[in-house]
Structure 1
Amino acid sequence: MTTPLDTAGTSEQYFAQITSVAQALIRAEKSGQATRFDFSGIDDCSYCREEIVPPKKSFRCSACKARIYCSVECQKNGWKYGTVDSPRGVNAQGVSFPNHKQYCKDNTRHMTRLTETRAILMQFPWGRLEKDGSFSHNIARGRFRVLGSNDMGFWSQRCGPAPHQDEGQMPNRHGSSKSGVFAQMDVKTFEHLDGKYLLKDQHFGDQEGWKLPPHLIPYRDFASADTRPVLVTEFGEPIKDWDSWYRWRKLPLESPAALIMNYPMTLYQFITNCLELTNATKGSPAERIPLNVHMLGVEVELNYLPIFSELALLLPYHNIQLTMFGFSVHKLCLEAREYSTSLAAQSLVDKPVFTYTAPVACGSSTLEIFLRGEAPRWPIQAPPTIPPDALVACNAGLASYSGWAEVIRIAHMLEIPFAVSEYMEQSAEVQRSTFSAVLAGIESQYRPRKGYPIALNPFQGPGQRHVSKMPNTINGFTMVVVKND
């Protein structure tokens, strides 16, 4: 059966209900009755955008298996016109609007990645595939009773119909007669200020931040060697995926840490593998490596700054500065003006909002995190006087927000290494296809780049998002925008 969720009430009531259902699922699993639970989402027609509510029949593209339609007529229209929002013809430049006929072959290629993304999820005991192939992150958090918008430590999150706060920067999105979970809710009821805990005067400790049993916590402050990882260069293998990270961290796969650790681990993937700026063997006690990284478009990351300490543990003998920019950073810094003694207020006077030093046994690297909230976008001044060593962004949507065009141009002109993650391989390819237009007119000011490589991120957030049948995960795929030759 599909498990219904009541849409009335506050976000905390809603999250409490999901937690209750998740606990019931655990009991059902122990009794062998888990199949009676199904948390699949409701499919939208890929053409008309209407929900396909059972018992209404759906029609799936037999070639790519990635598109769902509510009728044969919509399937035919989708093949020819794309969506009901697409004008039936070409634009002023003579370019035809995208339709399924154009994308079907690429969709088929992208769908082959499902085996890999599902394997990443199913290595975890809490990994679960619903009948539609999706995975509910909220149900997973509900298993561990760490689901809520407030008072959940690092797990505190906002809830609502929009994946990003800065929706105003996006082009007009399609309308829909949604009747699902969020459509009946007052969005204001579900507002949550990202980084709200930074309005207090101290960071969460490991236990209060993770709110998990001790054996499931990836500690940053170690009471003994039992919980401390070995010096990463002495581990015997590179940290290349979740399996190696969990073993190095002495964590059982039962730990849900990957559900939010995918953010700092994606930064690690950017720095070491995508951009090849440094690695675990470059530094030494006699020669420490400075690394200055600007992280753009920061949102949910503000809820768990201390977990970025992982970079200091993974990169021995480094001095790392991580400076965060974005609409949510700007919003938080405006709020911090009313909390003069808060952590966030420190950023208003150019002090780090978080610092960490790794144990000597782990390489004694340092991490400083700064917030730059004077404006909602990078750069604060254009172009930056002293370029950083790299620009990075998680779940960027480079073609979805107008502010990215300037970032892409500056990164190319100043040759600043730049890497991003996207939810989908298809999305990354669409972003890449816009670069020639973004860079038009400045060809003489930058060295053309080749390839803009896109790759599956081994540190992606485990589990398929319901919004697409194609592989679609948090920090799912990496793309290099600029890389030093």
Structure 2
Amino acid sequence: MECAAKGLAGEPCAGVAQRRCGSCGAVAYCSKDHQFVHWRFHKEECARLATQMSRIDVLSQFPFTFSVEPLALNHTLPSMRCLFLESIKVHLKGLWKPECICGPEIASVKDLSITAEWNMESSLCPCTEPENPVTRPLASWEDYYQWRSLPLHSPVAVLLHWPLTLYHCLQLSRIQTSRHDGHATLNIHYLGPEKELLQLAVFAELLALFPGVHLRIELVGPAVPRSRDGEVVNISSYAHCSVQNCGCRSSTAPEDLNSSAVTLKLWKGLYHERYSDIAKDSNPHLVLAPNAGVAAYPSWMPTIEMIREIGIPAIFTDFCEEAAHLASCCISYITGQPLGVPIQINPFRQPIAENNSALYIPCYSNCFVFGM
């Protein structure tokens, strides 16, 4: 944890930041002097951070029976996330490779296809069609696991938070499918993809969540490799399990991809710079920006201005409540309006805590959702 007064006190930090604010407990300092210097900034946020800290227990409540903090003293792996993946025997395997710091960099990967597998037995992963269609909106991981007949010791939620967050955001937006060329369609503009570019196969779960619908997802962001700009990936079957004689390996794609499929198209660059090209073929029903970091990147300002002018529903997510709060202030300042979707906990957040080098507040991928 970094000293909150780093760079403000005019002198280097005295050591490790182990002295925490006694009121909120969210920030740490290397010394009493640095804590005193930082108070003129911290006093405006202290009560808000204390409220966020009070939600630690709520955010860490998941129905799963697997442990995300395995005990592995004197282990050679570099992080707790690596230890967790090793404990479930998927470290650096298939779709799980990008989940730890040992994983590959996006730019170094030559193939962003959807051939990666779950690397676990069929009873633990959604590798085939669900037994029944969704009859009511799914509101929690427990709902999803029950519908998919998955045991709560299955760790697939660690990866499925991407498509389930998209599903949840569509529910929040109350967006209905439209008819295009005689088929039901949903056009999603998905901003700022990074890690999920190496996990595209998990988006196959949208086939089960939206049966009979053709989802067209435009993935737009600087992290898209230049060599992949314009690439189209069609998903019409689920990622395979590790069982060689499972039906998932013999299933065939439907003859008509438009009737029930997920089409992903990659666009390198910033959304406001690429929108005119993207919109020629795909007018969005929803803009989704996972783990957006709106307050951290000035490039969001022209994008938000453009979204406001076009009048597109837009949902953002972020790792922690403070990032969502700062983002909401930026959005309201740019648009001159309050949020259309207030900040709220995402029931489909990733069930492994992320490290936060600046604050002690709870942090999970896709943790909070809010929107214009």
Structure 2 residue 97 is the aligned partner of structure 1 residue 156 = yes
Change (3 A) 1:159 1:357: closer
Measure the CA separation in 1 of the matches of 2:364 and 2:14. Answer: 22
Q: Secondary structure of the residue that 1:203 maps to in structure 2?
A: coil
Measure the CA separation in 1 of the matches of 2:65 and 2:110. Answer: 29
Structure 2 residue 355 is the aligned partner of structure 1 residue 466 = yes
Residue identity in the other structure for 1:476: C
Residue identity in the other structure for 2:363: N
Match of 2:121 in 1: 213
Change (3 A) 1:246 1:458: same
Residue identity in the other structure for 2:118: W
Match of 1:75 in 2: 35
How far has the Cα of 1:73 moved from its partner?
1.5
TM-score by length of 2: 0.80
How far has the Cα of 1:195 moved from its partner?
8.4
Structure 2 residue 164 is the aligned partner of structure 1 residue 262 = no
Q: Secondary structure of the residue that 2:368 maps to in structure 1?
A: strand
Change (3 A) 1:238 1:435: closer
Measure the CA separation in 2 of the matches of 1:461 and 1:78. Answer: 32
Residue in structure 1 matching 2:293, options 381, 384, 397: 397
Deviations 1:311-332 (A, max 9, x none): 2211233221111111122435
Determine if contact 2:291/2:318 at 8 Å carries over to the other structure. yes
Determine if contact 1:421/1:475 at 8 Å carries over to the other structure. yes
Structure 2 residue 87 is the aligned partner of structure 1 residue 192 = no
Residue in structure 1 matching 2:175, options 273, 277, 297: 277
Measure the CA separation in 2 of the matches of 1:71 and 1:103. Answer: 20
> Which blocks of at least 5 consecutive residues in structure 2 are unaligned?
8-12, 72-78, 239-252
> Which blocks of at least 5 consecutive residues in structure 1 are unaligned?
1-42, 81-98, 161-188, 223-227, 335-346
Match of 2:147 in 1: 248
Residue identity in the other structure for 2:366: N
Structure 2 residue 261 is the aligned partner of structure 1 residue 366 = yes
How far has the Cα of 1:79 moved from its partner?
1.2
Measure the CA separation in 1 of the matches of 2:118 and 2:272. Answer: 31
Change (3 A) 1:146 1:450: closer
How far has the Cα of 1:450 moved from its partner?
4.9
Query: How do 1:298-317 and structure 2 match up within 5 A?
Result: 298-317=193-212
Residue identity in the other structure for 1:296: L
How far has the Cα of 1:159 moved from its partner?
6.1
Measure the CA separation in 2 of the matches of 1:195 and 1:416. Answer: 34
Match of 1:86 in 2: none
Residue in structure 2 matching 1:380, options 267, 274, 278: 274
Determine if contact 1:323/1:371 at 8 Å carries over to the other structure. yes
Measure the CA separation in 2 of the matches of 1:147 and 1:51. Answer: 38
Deviations 1:406-441 (A, max 9, x none): 2111111110011110011111111111235434xx
Determine if contact 2:190/2:288 at 8 Å carries over to the other structure. yes
Q: Secondary structure of the residue that 1:147 maps to in structure 2?
A: coil
Measure the CA separation in 2 of the matches of 1:257 and 1:190. Answer: 18
Measure the CA separation in 2 of the matches of 1:253 and 1:52. Answer: 43
TM-score by length of 1: 0.62
Residue identity in the other structure for 2:61: A
Measure the CA separation in 2 of the matches of 1:251 and 1:217. Answer: 7
Measure the CA separation in 1 of the matches of 2:82 and 2:125. Answer: 19
Structure 2 residue 27 is the aligned partner of structure 1 residue 46 = no
How far has the Cα of 1:245 moved from its partner?
0.8
Q: Secondary structure of the residue that 2:117 maps to in structure 1?
A: helix
How far has the Cα of 1:294 moved from its partner?
0.8
Match of 1:230 in 2: 132
Determine if contact 1:357/1:367 at 8 Å carries over to the other structure. no
The structure having more radius of gyration, on CA atoms, is 1
Aligned length: 336
RMSD of the alignment, in Å?
Answer: 3.1
How far has the Cα of 1:198 moved from its partner?
2.5
Determine if contact 1:428/1:477 at 8 Å carries over to the other structure. yes
Measure the CA separation in 1 of the matches of 2:30 and 2:341. Answer: 36
Determine if contact 1:324/1:370 at 8 Å carries over to the other structure. yes
Structure 2 residue 105 is the aligned partner of structure 1 residue 105 = no
